[in-house]
Amino acid sequence: MAIDTVKLNDGNEIPAIAFGTGTFWKGKDVVSFVEQAIESGFSHIDTAQAYDTEEGVGAALRESGLERAEVYVTSKYGGGDIQDAVRTSLHKLGLKQLDLYLIHTPGFVGNEFERSWREFEKIKEDGLAKSIGVSNFSVSQLQKLIKTAKITPAVNQIRLHPYNYTESKPLLEYAAQHGIIIEAYSSLTPITRYPGGPVDEPVAKAAKRLGATPTQVILLWVRSKGAVIVTTTSKKEHLQEYLAVADLPPLTEEEVAAIDAAGAGGPPASGSSNWRSRLLAVPRRVILLQVIFSVLFTYYRLRWLS
């Protein structure tokens, strides 16, 4: 279950899969879950100022007993003075250097792209982060940043799954042209939010051929796009399922194309495979309540009249 790496445009390498501590984990005690991820085999931990999980990640890293070179740590700028922010993140993590530091979202730097990126370049030059990049940037925002950048962002971490691939394709193409690696989060959306959607069929076919799970097929699809996977879970069996993707053969071009085509129309109208039955069930419950109310009303009215 050896995790391979992806080479960045600055010569550094990033593990192809990361354990994320955002969204679900925001503001929670993540120590035991990060420890579990590391024990399962994860060597890349993704955190952020905005997640409020940096201290927990730092505690887990210390408890792991790993040498610094054995773990890859990403954090993200979430507002305030940039130099103060990165030093605060390093202090919370108990590190002297980040492997990767990102602008979490364009909104955190407003229209100050040029000035903000200069601060990030200084962070790399000062050795506070080996690599620097961005997150949730569009093509136009990357163009604006790159126009004056001395150092091209190493990565752009974005939401990427089969149902938003068509709209994301220009961004992936632009990133590839400039050697920017895509990191993909929320890639399991077809399974977690839209089960029963059109992507399920080609995913199931590929899973049957490979003897894999649908989850693993989606992660293989992410890898087929040249992206680094950022995922999370609280369950050890899922961690092992994710990491086992490294031992699976890649999807065929036909399988990737079929998943692309199935997701091209976007997600289904509802996030549940039985949405029609649930929709139809609402009027039945309303009718039942009306009947009960009517019976009770008639009963008490008759008693009152008598």
Do residues 56 and 150 both lie within one domain? yes
Examine the domain organization and report whether 234 and 98 are in the same domain.
yes
Rounded distance between C-alpha atoms, residue 185 and residue 169, angstroms: 15
Q: What is the pLDDT of residue 289?
A: 52
Residue 151 has what pLDDT? 98
Q: Which whole number is the average pLDDT over 157-167? A: 98
Q: Is residue 138 assigned to a domain?
A: yes
User: In this predicted model, what pLDDT tens digit does every residue of 23-34 receive, in sequence order?
Assistant: 889 989 999 999
Q: Is residue 300 part of a domain?
A: yes
pLDDT of residue 24: 86
Domain with 77 in it: what CATH number? 3.20.20.100
pLDDT score, position 305: 44
Do 287 and 139 belong to one domain?
A: no
Instruction: Give the pLDDT of residue 301.
Output: 46
**11 belongs to a structural domain:** yes
pLDDT category of residue 290 using cuts at 50, 70 and 90:
low
Question: Which of 263, 254, 259 lies closest to 204 in space, CA to CA?
Answer: 259
Q: What is the pLDDT of residue 272?
A: 42
Domain range for 298: 275-306
Please, which residues have CB within 8 angstroms of residue 92's CB and are 6 or more apart in sequence? Answer: 54, 55, 58
Q: Examine the pLDDT at 16 and tell me if it is beyond 80.
A: yes
Return the pLDDT at 197.
96
How many whole angstroms separate alpha carbon 238 and alpha carbon 223? 18
Residue 145 has a pLDDT of 96
- The answer to whether residue 270 is domain-embedded is no
Q: Are residues 144 and 241 in the same domain?
A: yes
What whole-number distance in Å separates Cα of residue 23 and Cα of residue 21? 7
The average pLDDT across 169-178 equals 98
209 occurs within a structural domain: yes
> What's the pLDDT tens digit per position in 50-83?
999 999 999 999 999 999 999 999 999 999 999 9
The answer on 155 and 24 residing in a single domain is: yes
Quote the CA–CA distance of 93 and 141 in Å, as a whole number.
Answer: 29
Tell me, yes or no, whether 268 lies in a domain: no
Task: Name the E strands within 186-253.
Answer: 228-231
**For residues 85 and 78, is the Cβ–Cβ distance under 8 A?**
yes
Q: Which helix (H) or strand (E) holds 18?
A: strand 17-20
Cβ-in-10-Å burial (0-12, 13-18, 19+) of 164 comes to middle
Note whether residue 140 is domain-resident.
yes
Whether residues 302 and 198 share a domain: the answer is no
How much is the pLDDT for 270?
60
**What SS3 class is residue 271?**
coil
Q: Which two tokens stand for residue 58?
A: 């730092």
**Can you give the pLDDT at residue 296?**
55
Q: How many percent of the chain have pLDDT more than 70?
A: 88
User: CA angle 58-229-1, nearest 5°?
Assistant: 85
Domain contains 53: yes
For residue 88, the model assigns a pLDDT of 98
How many domains, in total, are found in the chain? 2
Of 51, 165, 185, 242, the catalytic one is 51
Active site residue: 77, 101, 104, 161, which one? 104
232 and 98 within one domain: yes
285 has pLDDT over 60 = no
Asked if pLDDT for residue 1 goes beyond 90, the answer is no
Same domain, 123 and 220: yes
Residue from 133, 70, 58, 40 nearest 96 by CA: 58
* 185 a catalytic residue: no
**Quick check: is 44 catalytic?**
no
156 lies in the same domain as 285? no
Quickly state the pLDDT bin for 284 (edges 50, 70, 90).
very low
Per the structure block, which two tokens stand in for 71?
A: 């773990």
Residue type for position 10: D
**C-alpha to C-alpha distances, 121 to 131, 179, 254, 286, nearest whole angstrom:** 9, 17, 41, 61
Same-domain status, 16 and 149: yes
Same domain, 87 and 232: yes
Out of 115-119, 167-171, 282-286, which region has the weakest mean confidence (pLDDT)?
282-286
Q: Are 232 and 25 in contact (CB under 8 A)?
A: yes
Looking at the structure, tell me whether residues 111 and 237 fall in a common domain: yes
Specify the higher pLDDT residue, 18 or 270.
Answer: 18
DSSP three-state, residue 136 = coil
